[in-house]
């Protein structure tokens, strides 16, 4: 049986640290402020936004929600971003994705000030991550690294495989592992001999978005398996990209729910504190 990496407990520890930092900043006259923009009434987005607002309140971060109707124009959305860029009491800005189809999410991300881009999606921040000189990290990959660090799992010199090449998770995940001296392979839908490559991994990160995609025969005995996926199974329950039977093969495993998920919001809070501190200078 694999050792479970408890994302809930680690996220709770990060949140406590964030709260202490937020209280210190508030004592210095700066209450960290996060603006969340949500367009339309997508149910999943509403759940995420509510969770972020609750987490901010618990951490001592002031949050403001900008809920815009589904028929908001590109110009109206960009005007909101520009207003928030100019506000000194807002230190972090995020726009909840996905946006309605008539809106250009790339243009919105590009409009957010890199100094307030707490999702780390702006091209300037992505470039900084690539060269290893960054202020912010994307929340989910940063959460994965925090899980590994706080479980005393070092990746230096190890074979790490990332399944998935998204700009939000796969690509930055590979860069963060590389920065800590891992040997990294990125796999995707066109990869040949996927199972063979995965079996070589000391650390396997699954971020493909397909329930139960990683099966026991793809996992090296004793490997660290990080399940980034959040899917709905046939029974309607949350499940990851990793087949539960991998538990019998892996050395460490992040559960779904309760693994990487709680870390994403925790790292968003941490990024907001980082933004506030950097804007104080």
Question: Which residues have CB under 8 Å from 136's CB, separation 6+?
Answer: 117, 118, 119, 120, 125, 271, 274, 275
Fold: same for 30-113 and 139-261 = yes
Instruction: Answer whether residue 122 shows pLDDT above 90.
Output: yes
For range 3-7, the mean pLDDT: 98
For range 177-197, the mean pLDDT: 97
Question: Which residues have CB under 8 Å from 239's CB, separation 6+?
Answer: 211, 212, 229, 231, 232, 233, 256
Task: Enumerate the domain spans of the chain.
Answer: 30-113, 139-261
28 is catalytic: no
Q: What fold is seen in the domain 30-113? A: Rossmann fold (3.40.50)
Whole-number average pLDDT of the chain: 96
For range 38-63, the mean pLDDT: 93
Class of domain 139-261: alpha beta
Report percent pLDDT > 90 for the chain. Answer: 93
Cβ distance 171 to 188 under 8 Å?
Answer: no
pLDDT tens string 137-162: 999 999 999 999 999 999 999 999 99
Instruction: Answer whether residue 281 shows pLDDT above 80.
Output: no
pLDDT tens string 12-28: 999 999 999 999 999 99
pLDDT at res. 67: 96
Exactly one of 96, 116, 158, 220 is catalytic; which is it? 96
Exactly one of 117, 119, 227, 243 is catalytic; which is it? 119
Exactly one of 52, 171, 220, 270 is catalytic; which is it? 52
pLDDT at res. 137: 95
96 is catalytic: yes
Question: For the residues of 179-199, what is the DSSP string, one character each?
Answer: HTT-EEEEE-TT-TTHHHHHT
8 is catalytic: no
Instruction: Answer whether residue 280 shows pLDDT above 80.
Output: no
Q: Kindly report the pTM of this predicted structure.
A: 0.95
For range 51-62, the mean pLDDT: 95
Instruction: Answer whether residue 249 shows pLDDT above 70.
Output: yes
């Amino acid at each position: 049986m694999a050792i479970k990496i408890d994302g809930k407990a680690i996220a709770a520890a990060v949140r406590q640290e964030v709260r202490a930092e937020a209280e210190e900043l508030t004592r210095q006259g700066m209450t960290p402020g996060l603006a969340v923009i949500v367009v339309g009434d997508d149910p999943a987005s509403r759940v995420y936004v509510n969770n972020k607002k609750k987490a901010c309140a618990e951490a001592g971060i002031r949050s403001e929600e900008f809920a815009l109707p589904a028929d908001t124009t590109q110009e109206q959305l960009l005007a909101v971003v520009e207003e928030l860029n100019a506000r000194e009491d807002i230190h972090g800005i995020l726009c909840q994705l996905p946006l309605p189809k008539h809106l250009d999410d790339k243009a919105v991300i590009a409009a957010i000030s890199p100094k307030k881009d707490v999702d780390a999606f702006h091209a300037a921040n992505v470039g900084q991550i690539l060269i290893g000189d960054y202020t912010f990290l994307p929340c989910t990959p940063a959460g994965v690294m925090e899980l590994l660090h706080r479980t005393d799992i070092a990746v230096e010199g190890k074979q790490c495989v990332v399944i998935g090449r998204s700009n939000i998770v796969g690509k930055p995940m590979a860069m963060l592992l590389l920065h800590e001296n891992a040997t990294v392979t990125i796999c995707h839908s066109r990869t040949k001999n996927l199972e063979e490559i995965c079996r070589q991994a000391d650390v396997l990160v699954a971020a493909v978005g397909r329930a139960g995609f990683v099966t026991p025969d793809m996992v090296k005995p004793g490997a660290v398996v990080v399940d980034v996926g959040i899917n709905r199974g046939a029974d309607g329950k949350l499940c990851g990209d990793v087949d539960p039977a991998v538990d019998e093969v892996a050395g460490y495993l992040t559960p779904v729910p309760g693994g990487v998920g709680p870390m994403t919001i925790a790292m968003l809070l941490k990024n907001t504190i980082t933004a506030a501190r950097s804007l104080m200078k």
